[in-house]
Amino acid sequence: MSEFVDDGGVASVARARIGNAVRARLDRNPMVSRIDAPHLEIYGRQEFLSAEECAGLRDLIDAGAQPSSLFSGSANADYRTSASCNLSPWDPLVSAVSDRICALTGIAADHGETLQGQRYHPGQEYKPHWDYFPVTANYWPAMLKTGGQRSWTAMIYLSPVEAGGETHFPHCEFMVPPVEGMLLIWNNMDRDGSPNGSSLHAARPVEQGTKYVVTKWFRERPWRP
């Protein structure tokens, strides 16, 4: 299904261990709900951020947004048409949100990439993709040196959207519409630590309104940008 070739059993065991720990922590949290998806570990947390925090992050995204890029550098220009930016980890709001995500998952802060903001105007989208890295890609050696594989993804909706903009998991046959302040978090790995093809997802085109999100990706080892 994907171009991924596993890079060794030791790495898979480590990823499985991360998955077990995060799963157990989320399952114990009464504020977190498991979404019914047999082939994907995905959870939701309503009102993870306040309206004021969402507004503050939207302002930061508007101030820094540039056309989004792709790791591959070879995909069609219309594959990812949003604007995005890495948010300063020294900003008090960004730091507080990142710390809150880490506390929820139990993943050490040094495993988390910089919080990234994304903005979608009407017609903009991000077509189906995986967050994990294929080891056959030309950028994999650099990713391996800077923390290895992406294990979990945490994404927060920062705005309501009048129409469109759902996060679509096509292999799981469901979509999650934007709800301001809601956190989605999913495991990019299977229970054995190998990449889970069912984590394929897309940002559906916005039809009316503007969609804002922030995303934090966690690596299997400490992230070294």
Give the other-Cβ count within 10 Å of 59's Cβ. 12
Q: pLDDT tens digits for 52-110?
A: 999 999 999 999 999 988 766 545 668 899 999 999 999 999 999 999 999 999 999 99
Residue 160, pLDDT above cutoff 60: yes
Q: pLDDT tens digits for 129-153?
A: 999 998 888 999 999 999 999 999 9
Least Cα distance to 96 among 83, 79, 80, 109 occurs for 109
At 1 the pLDDT is 32
Model confidence, pTM? 0.93
**Side-chain half-sphere CA neighbours of 39 within 13 A:** 12
For residue 192, give every residue at least 6 positions away whose Cβ sits within 8 Å of its Cβ, in sequence order, or none: 12, 16
Residue 190, pLDDT above cutoff 80: yes
- From first CA to last CA, the distance across the chain in angstroms is 29
At 42 the pLDDT is 98
Counting every residue written for the chain, the total comes to: 225
Residue 164, pLDDT above cutoff 70: yes
SS3 content of the chain, % helix, strand, coil (to 5): 25, 25, 45
At 3 the pLDDT is 37
At 73 the pLDDT is 54
At 5 the pLDDT is 41
Helix axes 92-105, 9-28, angle to 10 degrees: 100
Which amino acid makes up residue 110?
D
Q: Could you tell me the domains of the chain?
A: 9-160+197-219 (2.60.120.620)
For residue 101, give every residue at least 6 positions away whose Cβ sits within 8 Å of its Cβ, in sequence order, or none: 112, 154, 183, 216
Phi first, then psi: what are they for 59, rounded to 5°? -60, -40
At 135 the pLDDT is 83
At 78 the pLDDT is 83
Q: pLDDT tens digits for 2-51?
A: 333 445 566 789 999 999 999 999 999 999 999 999 999 999 999 999 99
Site of tokens 């069912």: 198
Residue 196, pLDDT above cutoff 90: yes
Q: Quick one: CA torsion of 166, 79, 37, 107, rounded to 10 degrees? A: -100
At 82 the pLDDT is 95
